[in-house]
């Protein structure tokens, strides 16, 4: 039950029950302060009875967080102090570090409102981790401009929707989005230092996603600047990116599909400046939707053309070397109900029998090679038979018990 603490009878009852539990005057004052800040005092009794019947109290819960009624801003300044509450933009109100931000966040119930973390002018090294345990899944991290505010690497674990705006990030693993986190990046600069093999700079994985908008700038060094794998998605449609000072980047954009469909969308994006390194890399089915090899190589201003790596094995025999994806069919067939979400270059799919489908490609696409991968247990085998504009895909999906079953598989056309 919850008590309305503006009622004098309830106040007396609360004092009585706190005393019954062995509480002190300080405990009672804390409860009253919680109620005054919009907190809730919840009393549970051993017999699930109301407190009015004086059941023995087994729990007193207080939610000391302030429930937001509008958007809130937490200020971070070089002259701030983590003992401050962070709610005013002054030396006596702002916090100094991310520790202070976390302290402020734990005192807020977001109540579905965004919280803005506004950094001032200066540089804040060190790694920032944001996950759903802090109780906030809608944060906007803002600076005073990408030449005025510099922070260290930041990782987002969802589910949640986040944003990074008007600042620079400095380090090796600069931005990571995973676990269902989606991050909107606006007017940011990525300064790569201490390059390490296996550590991407901007990284979407495990169903995480990144949206890169106009104003993104890259400088320094990086192993891989944009990396998507394990169902990661990076979107950069119709944007303009800047390379400053000819960065050294082993691979600018890498889509790795070895552990799940992963895409990097760069359609109509333009680039200013150039970098030293490979333009792009697609491995194990990773894709750059809607773009051919020629288009990727002409639009990305690196010193080395992109490449595709990885092979598909059929009975111990190599049947296909992966190349630039011209079309992709992401097909889920559950008891005859076909779902082809996120497919491209495909005009129609017809199920002819268990494990057999007729697939029609867009007329402009010439089917030169194929690869099929099974998601989940079992193995998928492909046999492509030409039939005018249609191609018959014979996919025998065999489960671990050795029997034929419907399943989920990916078809890619090269």
Give the other-Cβ count within 10 Å of 52's Cβ: 12
Query: Token pair of 240, please?
Result: 């303009």
Percent of residues, the chain, with pLDDT higher than 90: 39
pLDDT for 273 equals 97
- First CA to last CA across the chain, in angstroms? 63
- For the stretch 190-224, pLDDT in tens is 999 988 888 999 999 988 999 998 899 999 999 99
Question: 3-class DSSP state for residue 98?
Answer: helix
Q: Is the pLDDT of residue 365 over 90?
A: no
* Measured CA distances, 80 to 98, 101, 199 (Å): 11, 11, 33
pLDDT-derived band at 26 (thresholds 50, 70, 90) equals: low
| C-beta atoms surrounding 338 within 10 Å | 13
The confidence score (pLDDT) of residue 24 equals 63
Strands 307-309 and 276-283: parallel
Q: Is the pLDDT of residue 359 over 70?
A: no
Each residue's pLDDT tens digit, 70-81: 899 999 999 999
- Please tell me which residue, 180 or 395, carries the higher pLDDT value: 180
Average pLDDT for the chain: 74
pLDDT tens string 104-119: 998 888 887 889 999 9
DSSP string, 137-168: -EEEEE-S-TTTEEE--EEEESSEEEEEEEEE
Closest by CA position to 168, among listed 190, 183, 185, 184: 190
Please report, for the chain, how many H helices and E strands are present, in that order.
Answer: 4, 34
User: Which comes out higher in pLDDT, residue 312 or 132?
Assistant: 132
If you average pLDDT over residues 136-154, what whole number do you get?
92
């Amino acid at each position: 039950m919850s008590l309305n603490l503006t009622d004098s009878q309830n106040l007396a009852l609360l004092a009585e029950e706190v005393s019954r539990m062995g509480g002190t005057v300080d405990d009672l004052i804390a409860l009253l302060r919680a109620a005054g800040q919009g907190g809730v005092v919840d009393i549970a009794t051993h017999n699930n009875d109301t407190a009015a019947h004086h059941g023995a109290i087994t729990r007193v819960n207080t939610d000391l967080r302030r429930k937001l009624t509008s958007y809130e801003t937490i200020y971070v300044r070089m002259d701030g102090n983590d003992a401050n509450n962070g709610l005013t933009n002054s030396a006596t109100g702002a916090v100094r570090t991310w520790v202070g931000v976390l302290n402020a966040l734990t005192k807020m119930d977001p109540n579905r409102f965004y919280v803005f973390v506004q950094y001032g002018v200066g540089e804040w090294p060190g790694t920032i981790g944001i996950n759903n345990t802090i109780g906030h899944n809608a944060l906007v991290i803002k600076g005073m401009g990408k030449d005025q505010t510099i922070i260290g690497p930041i990782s987002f674990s969802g589910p949640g929707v986040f944003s990074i705006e008007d600042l620079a990030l400095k380090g090796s693993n600069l931005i990571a989005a995973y676990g269902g986190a989606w991050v909107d990046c606006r007017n940011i600069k990525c300064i790569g230092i201490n390059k390490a093999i296996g550590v991407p700079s901007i990284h979407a994985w495990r169903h995480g996603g990144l949206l890169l908008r106009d104003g993104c700038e890259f400088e320094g060094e990086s192993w891989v600047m944009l990396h998507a794998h394990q169902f990661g998605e990076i979107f950069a449609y119709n944007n303009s990116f800047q390379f400053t000072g000819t960065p050294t980047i082993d691979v600018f954009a890498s889509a790795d599909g070895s552990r799940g469909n992963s895409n990097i969308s760069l359609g109509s994006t333009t680039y200013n400046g150039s970098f030293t390194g490979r333009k792009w890399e697609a491995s194990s089915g990773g894709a750059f939707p809607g773009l051919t090899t020629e288009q990727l190589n002409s639009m990305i201003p690196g010193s080395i053309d992109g490449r595709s790596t990885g092979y598909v094995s059929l009975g111990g025999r190599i049947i296909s070397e992966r190349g630039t994806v011209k079309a992709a069919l992401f097909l889920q067939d559950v008891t005859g109900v076909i779902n082809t979400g996120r497919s491209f270059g495909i005009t129609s799919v017809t199920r002819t029998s268990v494990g057999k489908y007729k697939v029609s490609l867009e007329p402009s696409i010439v089917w030169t090679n194929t690869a099929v991968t099974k998601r989940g247990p079992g193995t998928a085998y492909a046999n492509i038979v030409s039939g005018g504009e249609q191609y018959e895909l014979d996919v025998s999906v065999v489960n671990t018990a050795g029997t034929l079953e419907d399943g989920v598989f990916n078809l890619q056309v090269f």
